[in-house]
A and B are shown apart, each in its own frame.
Chain A
């Protein structure tokens, strides 16, 4: 008897618990500037407004109510399935409550294939760059350079154009010992649609000093690929590499 009463309560409060956790975590992420780890910045305001409205409903739901005891309970196989599903959703909510927020890692970059879907071309274009100042070129992101590399592999074009870029390290399949990708994720809506992009970097035995997933700041220039393996004609040859903190905005837009 008490079991079915308990099941009924779980059935009713489960959704409210999941909603409350989602709202609390969203607001906390927004307050600490970390909501952009999961969604595009243009949705932050909308998310916060709706979350606050939701919060008001959650508080109101604690008020006394006219009794509703006719909530239907599942039985038989349905009860087993819904028991498992309930446990899964509540566990997921608990991890959402306690685990530190994180960005996507090189595992997802490898799984999705770096530069595999075609880099967007609304970054820097070859024509713009011809008239750009050195300061403008130095502010180019991984996305700008990846977009340029897609447009031209003319070594002369890159001559005398200094690059200063930040990204995380993922493996390069062509010459794993001496090349890696300096990569970023580009997102259009949320982390679900993140597309990995990357610049090929040539550094002999890079794993002696750096590790996959580590964030680094690279200064250098683009030039002909010294590696004998692989098909990448132009690579970034670093003059200086420093390990760095993950940027507060780890994704590019």
Chain B
């Protein structure tokens, strides 16, 4: 019976998929446009109502949370769009086949892909998911995910604008990001069962060839991917933004700043700050610049290497794809290595 229902629905859908414009299309467009118009109307109308004012702390919590969401939104959209391009529109051979055969060399090349696909960390996740769906191994996608936020032209330019070549901060950031991404990629390439690193939900999406694949046009596939990626990324972004906002309202900044001049404590403080603040790698150099006078250069490097890879928002988003166990291991390794890099810079520079 269920089969009959599916068959009926399939045959019902099929003509509109072929012809493109049917009654369903027009109704769908109307519903979409009217729905959006009413949302705009609601937003414009409610701003005129004088509701009760929230207490300052609650209002600021919301402002900070919205700020994370609104700041990340265009980057998330860019990441989803690039991911759709890679998955649906770019032929397989363009990407997978130009890479070297040797696994280590492949990961080295993959870690420089960010130079051509300059999306920051929130946009990287949909792209890394797309790469896995496209046949990249989990460890290769991880290398990309960790390297691309640091090894991309926008991050390099903004970091250079903020610090120049002072204290080797820029160089240490680039080398550190490259080293950590390749180290993690190498570690996980040794894992016997790569699929076990992924959440069941995502692994299932990758493993099953889509049964409707053949009947969909490329445009339909693109929209379907948009809906699916949005369904995964947006709830995680909202939760991550809310948590980041909460921690910012609750932890006094002075606690962190007072630790700034000690070679070891300053590094730990910067890791906590990077974890909490969840700001994009494209702009974090400007954020941290005012701290440079009170914090040691090594701790600044730690912030710039650790922050783009691990923070509250990113963990919430990566959890959609990787298991908790994987993320805990990854956080530990990245934290240890970036702290070590910071210590070296502190004692050498």
Contact = CB atoms under 8 A, between A and B. Distances in A.
B44 interface: yes
Interface in B260-317: 277-280, 283-284, 286-287, 289-294
A99 B62 contact: yes
B124 interface: no
A175 interface: no
Contacts of A54: 73, 77
A228 interface: no
Contact of A62 (B32, B74, B277): B32
A51 B248 CA distance: 27
A225 interface: no
Interface stretch (A105-113, A176-184, A203-211): A105-113
Given A16-B230, A57-B226, A188-B287, A38 B294 contact: no
A163 to B, nearest CB: 23
A102 B22 CA distance: 45
Interface stretch (A64-72, A126-134, A152-160, A237-245): A64-72
B96 interface: no
Interface string A116-160: 111110000000000000000000000000000000000000000
A192 B224 contact: no
A26 B42 CA distance: 14
Contacts of A24: 36, 39-40, 43
A101 B77 CA distance: 23
A66 B234 contact: no
A108 B249 contact: yes
Contacts of B233: 15
Contacts of A107: 56-57, 59-60, 249
Contact of A66 (B25, B81, B212, B238): B212
A86 B235 contact: yes
Interface residues of A, number: 82
Contacts of A189: 71, 279-280, 283-284, 286-287
A39 B280 CA distance: 12
Interface string A214-237: 000000000000000000000000
Nearest to A108: B60
A50 B60 contact: no
Interface in A166-199: 188-193, 195
Given A111-B253, A113-B257, A20 B16 contact: no
A35 interface: yes
A81 to B, nearest CB: 11
Contacts of A97: 39, 42-43, 46
Interface stretch (B184-192, B215-223, B339-347): B215-223
A88 B283 CA distance: 28
B252 interface: yes
Contacts of A51: 73-74, 77
B71 A39 contact: yes
A202 B239 CA distance: 43
Q: Is the interface of A mostly helix, strand, loop or mixed?
A: helix
A25 B235 contact: no
B9 interface: yes
A67 B36 contact: no
Nearest to B244: A192
Contacts of A58: 32, 36
B16 A103 contact: no
B248 A192 contact: yes
B29 A23 contact: no
A57 B223 contact: yes
Nearest to A45: B74
Contact of B70 (A35, A57, A85, A113): A35
Interface string A25-54: 111110000010111100100110111011
Contacts of B75: 50
Contacts of B63: 37-38, 102-104, 191
Given A104-B60, A120-B290, A99 B231 contact: no
A22 interface: yes
Contacts of A113: 252-254, 257
Nearest to A100: B47
Contacts of A53: 77, 81
Nearest to B212: A66
B73 A47 contact: yes
26 contacts: A12-B227, A13-B231, A15-B227, A18-B234, A19-B230, A24-B36, A25-B70, A38-B63, A49-B74, A53-B81, A60-B223, A62-B29, A62-B35, A64-B13, A66-B220, A85-B235, A92-B65, A92-B242, A99-B46, A107-B56, A111-B249, A117-B294, A188-B286, A190-B71, A192-B71, A213-B56
Nearest 10 A/B pairs, CB to CB = A15-B231, A62-B32, A50-B74, A107-B56, A189-B283, A191-B67, A188-B286, A64-B24, A190-B71, A18-B234
Given A24-B40, A98-B42, 10 more contacts: A22-B234, A50-B74, A65-B220, A67-B212, A92-B238, A104-B64, A105-B59, A117-B290, A191-B67, A193-B286
Interface of A: 11-16, 18-29, 35, 37-40, 43, 46-47, 49-51, 53-55, 57-68, 70, 72, 85-86, 88-89, 92-93, 95-108, 111-113, 116-120, 188-193, 195, 213
